[in-house]
Amino acid sequence: MVLTSGYVMASLSNAVVQFAADLGVDLGDVIRMHGVDPATMVRADDYVPVELHEALWAAAAKRSGREDMAVWAAASFRPGLTGVVEYMLRSSSTVGEGIETWVRHAALVSDSIHTSLESGRGGYFLRWELRRPASIGARHWAEFALGRALGMVREATGEPGGMPSSVDFLHPAPPVVATHRHLFGSGVCFDQAQQGIRFAAAWLDRPLAGADSGMRSALDGRAADLHEAMTAGTIASRCRAMLRTTLRSLGDARLDVVAERLGMAPRTLQRRLRDEGVAFRALADHVKRQEADALLASGMTNEQIARKLGFSDSAALRKARRRWKH
């Protein structure tokens, strides 16, 4: 599928489902609520809406009663669930090369992630942030991501207590932080202006036990192919994927909203679709019909579907269904 805006690697979301299952929590209803086919969750190199990923984290923590669930999950993570990016990290020769890989290929995990490595305060800061409004799910996602980054460095260098001078989070401290301090160390900080891991410069040169230049070269090629696949495709396919995103996250399929998220003017989008023999309204109707059918199959009522897809009421949805049949 073409990755546009607001998607995350399906295997990472499926990991949240599995972590929750280990705690006796079923998240199947959350998946159905977002109109996602459960088969997508276990499909290699596929993606799901980022809204679903954050909703899974929030529901898992609430239903398990564990505010530290993401930290626990980071410490018990099953290797390989993030595919090529993780294998590239593990085959890097040094911590610095691994971090450079993470920064360069973060978009393969999610297009909502921004990472960077910055110097300052006598060392470096590995920044991790989301290009999205703050949410409960985003908080857990951040704790998991930084916990896994730290865990992989410690595993690969054989230094179980090493690396951070501090680990900074944007969100306030939870009521109990014992699990956080166990994983991140005494330097874990909350309510910070930026989010990431601070560490001494010497860590960049630390060798990694799994270094494999041949494997690294092969994985570089695979990553390049994935980046190309994510940005390739016709304007119609990109527009179709964006329509799904805006419907699921905003209940909105207007031309101006979709065009803005695709980085072009509405008239430009219409013109480029016409060049491919496609009308925006026909494309929007096609996506709305698919989404409505999926939501109906998930058990939603017509009233609920109408609200979720931006219709004024169930009567407007019924009128649209009659139009879609012709």
SS (H, E, C) 112-151: CEEEEEEEECCEEEEEEEECCCCCHHHHHHHHHHHHHHHH
Residue 2 lies in a domain: no
- Pairing type for strands 123-130 and 164-168 reads unpaired
- Domain containing residue 295: CATH number: 1.10.10.60
Strand partners, 114: 129
What is the rounded distance in angstroms from the CA atom of residue 280 to the CA atom of residue 274? 8
Q: Which of 193, 228, 263 is the last residue of a domain?
A: 228
Residues 188 and 320 occupy one common structural domain: no
Residues 251 and 183 occupy one common structural domain: no
Q: What confidence score (pLDDT) does residue 45 get? A: 66
CA proximity to 53, closest of 245, 242, 292? 245
Report whether 16 contacts 53 (CB < 8 A): yes
Q: What confidence score (pLDDT) does residue 4 get? A: 38
Residues 314 and 166 occupy one common structural domain: no
Q: What confidence score (pLDDT) does residue 2 get? A: 36
Residues 219 and 247 occupy one common structural domain: no
Q: What confidence score (pLDDT) does residue 292 get? A: 86
Residues 161 and 211 occupy one common structural domain: yes
Range of 240's domain?
235-324
Q: What confidence score (pLDDT) does residue 161 get? A: 84
- Residue 79 has, within 13 A of its CA and on its CB side, a CA count of 8
Round to the nearest angstrom and report the end-to-end CA distance of the chain.
28
Residue 148 lies in a domain: yes
What is the rounded distance in angstroms from the CA atom of residue 29 to the CA atom of residue 267? 39
Residues 78 and 32 occupy one common structural domain: yes
Residue 1 lies in a domain: no
* Residues 223-254 pLDDT 10s: 776 666 566 667 887 788 788 878 877 788 89
Strand partners, 83: none
Residues 249 and 217 occupy one common structural domain: no
Residues 112 and 173 occupy one common structural domain: yes
What is the rounded distance in angstroms from the CA atom of residue 122 to the CA atom of residue 203? 12
Residues 205 and 279 occupy one common structural domain: no
What string of pLDDT tens digits covers the 326 residues of the chain? 333 347 788 889 999 999 999 999 999 999 988 877 787 787 766 778 888 899 999 999 999 999 999 999 998 877 766 677 788 888 899 999 999 988 888 888 887 888 999 997 779 999 999 877 778 899 999 999 999 999 989 988 999 888 899 999 999 999 999 999 999 998 999 999 999 999 999 999 999 988 888 777 777 777 776 666 566 667 887 788 788 878 877 788 899 988 887 777 899 899 888 888 889 998 898 888 888 887 887 788 888 888 888 888 889 988 988 888 76
Tally the domains of the chain.
2
Q: Which of 172, 204, 228 is the last residue of a domain?
A: 228
Report whether 189 contacts 146 (CB < 8 A): no
- Domain containing residue 184: CATH number: 3.90.1520
Residues 218 and 276 occupy one common structural domain: no
The amino acid occupying position 58 is A
What is the DSSP track for 268-309? Answer: HHHHHHHHTT--HHHHHHHHHHHHHHHHHHTT--HHHHHHHT
Phi-psi region of 277 (alpha: psi -120 to 50; beta: other; left: phi over 0): left
Residue 183 lies in a domain: yes
Q: What confidence score (pLDDT) does residue 227 get? A: 67
CA proximity to 200, closest of 124, 149, 127? 124
What is the rounded distance in angstroms from the CA atom of residue 203 to the CA atom of residue 201? 5
CA proximity to 50, closest of 251, 248, 203, 306? 248
What is the DSSP track for 6-70? Answer: SEEEHHHHHHHHHHHHHTT---HHHHHHTT--GGGGGSTT-EEEHHHHHHHHHHHHHHHT-TTHH
Q: What confidence score (pLDDT) does residue 5 get? A: 45
- pTM reported for the whole predicted model: 0.71
Q: What confidence score (pLDDT) does residue 183 get? A: 93
What is the rounded distance in angstroms from the CA atom of residue 166 to the CA atom of residue 196? 8
Residues 211 and 251 occupy one common structural domain: no
